[in-house]
């Protein structure tokens, strides 16, 4: 027998299994040919398999004393599916935020600090550093005039009113401030401070999220 493809090209390395009165098996040679001599008469089933072809079966009946010459046409196996594209590499983890140097422990009276650092009537604003460590900066802020609008892109800011009266404007909305008032603003929130009354507006401001020596 000769095993060929649909275009007439011979196919080597095709396994042929013969079941029937005289079972045999073999593999086609480089020219796509294979011989099974000495088969007894009868009906045989031939099965053709291989990596390059689609499996195929055929029945053939052999008569005594005759040689059966066959040309078997097989369909070539479809090419293997393309390997899937590799998954995109995961994005690198976000860089760790910069961390300022550790400060020194502090315990103090904010009221005493206000008395020592009290703003004069001629000063529009006075800032006094209370503590600086890592990514947290604490300031005593005293205002005789309104503070311009501020936005901290990478830090949260907390205000605690120690004395005086005023207002905080957060994204266009005013809220009154008096001694004991507290305001917490997430990063990216625009805000401004306004003094009201005759006395300065005095606050403890805590900025958290960026190295304290860079805070403004």
CA–CA gap between residue 91 and residue 110 (Å, rounded): 46
Mean pLDDT score, 182-210: 93
pLDDT at position 115, please? 93
Query: What's the distance, CA 35 to chain centroid?
Result: 61
Q: What is the pTM of this model?
A: 0.55
Report the candidate in 52, 14, 50 with the shortest Cα–Cα distance to residue 32.
Answer: 14
Q: Which of 2-16, 77-91, 94-108 is least confident? A: 94-108
Express as a percent the part of the chain with pLDDT over 70: 99
- Helix runs in the chain, H state only: 110-116
Q: For the chain, what percent of residues have pLDDT higher than 90?
A: 68
């Amino acid at each position: 027998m000769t095993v060929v493809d649909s275009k007439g090209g011979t196919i080597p390395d095709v396994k042929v299994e013969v079941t029937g009165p005289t079972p045999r098996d073999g593999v086609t040679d480089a020219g796509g040919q294979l011989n099974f001599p000495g088969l007894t008469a009868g009906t045989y089933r031939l099965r053709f398999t291989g990596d390059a072809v689609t499996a195929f079966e055929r029945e053939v009946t052999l008569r005594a004393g005759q040689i059966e010459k066959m040309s078997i046409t097989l369909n070539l196996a479809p090419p293997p599916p393309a390997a899937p594209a590799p998954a995109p590499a995961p994005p690198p983890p976000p860089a760790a935020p910069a961390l300022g140097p550790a400060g020194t422990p502090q315990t103090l009276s904010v009221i005493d600090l206000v008395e020592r650092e009290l703003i004069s009537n001629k000063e529009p604003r006075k800032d006094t550093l209370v503590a600086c460590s890592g990514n947290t900066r604490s300031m005593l802020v005293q205002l005789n005039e309104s503070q311009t609008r501020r936005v901290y892109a990478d830090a949260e800011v907390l205000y605690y009113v120690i004395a005086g009266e005023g207002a905080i404007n957060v994204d266009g909305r005013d809220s009154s401030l008096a001694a004991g008032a507290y305001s917490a603003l997430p990063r990216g929130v625009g805000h401004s401070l306004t003094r009201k009354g005759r006395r300065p507006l005095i606050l403890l401001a805590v900025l958290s999220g960026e190295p304290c020596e860079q805070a403004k």
